[in-house]
Every structure is written in C-alpha cells, then in structure tokens.
Amino acid sequence: MKKVLALVLALVVVFTLAAAALADGKSPVDGMTVAFIPKVSGNSFFEAANDGAQKYAADWGLTVDYIGSPDASVTTQLELIQQAIDKGVDAICISSVDATALDEKLQEAQDAGIFVSTWDSDVSPDSRALMVSQGTASVLGPMLVEMGVDSLKERGVDVTGEVKYVWHFSNPSVADQNSWYVAGEEYIKEKYPTWVAIHDPYFSEQDPAKSVSIGEALLEANPDVDLIICNDSTALPGQCGAAQNKGLTAKDVTITGFCPPSGMTTYLENGVCTRWGLWDCGIQGAMGCYLAAYISAGNTVHVGDKVDIPGIGEVEILANSDLVEGQETAEENNGVVLLPERVVFTAENVANYPF
C-alpha cells in the first residue's frame, strides 16, 4: 500500500511540475534559434518582416538570428544558408531568390536536422517543411489588377476600353511573383479583354537602383502606357521613383503593386501613386520562424492539422497543391500555411499600418 501511495505521490509531483511549466507560459519553441534569411537586406518589406519576427519571438522565448545581405543573388543566399548551418541553428526561415537553385543546400540543412520554412518566395516542396504564403495566385493576381482598375477609374480612364499596360517585377524565376503575373494575365483576358499588353514584363532583379533605371527605360520606351503593375516590393518604389524623376504623377500614369507602407508613403504624399497593397509581412516573418522552430522542436504536422501560434492564432496546414497546382505533399511536416488577410493602402488608411 505504501508503494502504491508513493507512486501516486510521484505522479502527482510530475503532473504538478508539468502544469507549472505550462503556467510559466513557455511556448513550444522556447530556447530555440532560427536563422532568418531575407531575399535582400535593406528593403523595407524584408526589414519589416524581421521586425515582426523579432517582436513575436521575444514573447515565445525564441531567438531569431537575422542573416542578410544587400546582394540578392543565389550565390549569396547559398553562403548565408551555410553560415546558418555552421552556427548550428535549430531552424531556418528563408525568402528565396530562386525557386530551385537553393534546393540542394536546404536539403543538406534538413538532413542535419535543421528544418526549413519559406515565406514570400518558395523553393521546391521537398527542400523545406512549410511555406508561409501571403495568398494563392488566384487571390493575388486579380488583387493587383483590381488595384490598377480602381486607380485608373480614379483618374477618369474607361477600363472597359483599351488600356495599355505592362508588368515590372524581379525576374521570372521568382516563383510567387511569376505566378501572380500569370494569374493576373488570365484575369485580364477574362475581365478586361480590350486591354493591351504593350511590352513583355520588365525585370529589375530585386535591385533598388536598377528598379529606378529600368522604370525610367520603361517610361521612355512606352510614353503612352496607362498602367504599370509592380508585383515586387523593390520594383514598385523604384518605378514610382522613375515616374517622379520624369515629372509624372498619378494623373499621368497609374502605378500600383505590392510594397510595405513605409516604402511608399513619399510617393503617396507626392501624388505619384494613390493605391497599392500588401499583407502584414511582420506576422508573415514571425509565422515562418515559429513554424520552422515548432517542427525542429520535434512536433509533427500533417495536412489538415491546425497549429496554435501564440499571439497570432490558429493556422491550418494545407497541401502544396493549394498553392501550386500539381505539387505533391509529403505525408508529414510538409505543406502550406496562408496568411489570414491582405490590405489595400490609400491615404485614408495608411497611417494605421506603421511598418
């Protein structure tokens, strides 16, 4: 009887200690380290994403090690991934500059027990665990087009007639941006069949200086362009800077796309752009860090599972095919998580989004 009582008391102590640990508010990723690798450092979008990751990580007991470079190239990102592996981090959260070129190095990281999440721009699904996506192409492509439609109407352009338009973004190997372009083109053909694409997309390689020079070349070559869609947070402010250098405003040409508010407020105030969009990239960066660390901590997820991210909420693991048609999903620790919402910024609401 004494032995039974002793066993019961021991179990009580164990459960009491476990309850105390939970009461301490420790998250499942407490004490872990994630390497946060942006596509390029110095860009307002990626800096805001890091700020958000650092903010939430402090509450989770998670260390976010920012490893970035102003050089947005495959060679540089391969070096940064190797740095993370050499440091012995627990997980990697990365926005990729190329859809496939990082695969082998990221697989090497995962073979070493360092689970990988992607956000903003993806790699091959078998080279990472989870992708934190801002939305499907079927959502974001039409969103880009409709922001342009609203701004065109704002300056009195008949959007049911001929509208001359062109796209400007990083490069076709950036999978997400290219998918938005493809979906946007399909949407235009369906909803606005009288529109005319007056040039193939312009590419500025995520380079701030190049985005201005390419933007100027675009305007010089196409002085009659009505709409420029910039599905890239470097191309959009660069294109607006180019228009400003040419003395053009939103009354002369409509420019829209994706960028954090902080990168565009100058052009809003100067009347160069009246409307653009994005999502809360701070939450996106934080989610990517948490989920990579969560799996590295030994948790297992499957498609259909829901994960509660402290301070953000419950997210569902979706199949990779929900993001890219035809992509397969591994049985466990593989899939896509979507952000809950997107935002269109205008003079009326931009002050509500300080990032």
In a domain, 4, yes or no: no
In a domain, 38, yes or no: yes
91, 36 contact by CB (below 8 A) = no
210 DSSP 8-state letter: H
In a domain, 20, yes or no: no
Residue 130's domain comprises 30-134+281-340
Give the pLDDT confidence score for residue 24 in this predicted structure: 56
Confirm whether pTM is higher than 0.85: no
Give the pLDDT confidence score for residue 19 in this predicted structure: 36
User: Which of the listed residues 261, 278, 295 is the one where a domain comes to its end?
Assistant: 278
CATH number at residue 330: 3.40.50.2300
Whole-number Å distance between alpha carbons of 115 and 110 = 5
Same domain, 198 and 291: no
| Mode of pairing for the β-strands spanning 130-133 and 115-119 | parallel
Number of domains forming the structure of the chain: 2
Same domain, 292 and 314: yes
User: Which of the listed residues 278, 300, 323 is the one where a domain comes to its end?
Assistant: 278
Residue 16 confidence (pLDDT) above 90: no
Same domain, 193 and 325: no
Radius of gyration of the chain (CA): 23
Same domain, 307 and 252: no
Tens of pLDDT, residues 22-73? 345 689 999 999 999 999 998 888 998 999 999 999 999 999 999 999 998 9
Same domain, 225 and 249: yes
Same domain, 144 and 273: yes
Same domain, 154 and 263: yes
Same domain, 142 and 273: yes
In a domain, 15, yes or no: no
Tens of pLDDT, residues 122-169? 999 999 999 999 998 999 999 999 999 999 999 999 999 999 999 999
Same domain, 109 and 130: yes
Same domain, 53 and 102: yes
In a domain, 21, yes or no: no
Residue 17 confidence (pLDDT) above 60: no
**Greater confidence, 192 or 22?**
192
Beta carbons within 10 angstroms of residue 67's beta carbon: 20
Whole-number Å distance between alpha carbons of 176 and 108 = 24
Residue 20 confidence (pLDDT) above 60: no
- Secondary structure, 3-state, 135-189: CCHHHHHHHHHHHHHHHHHHCCCCCCCCCEEEEEECCCCCHHHHHHHHHHHHHHH
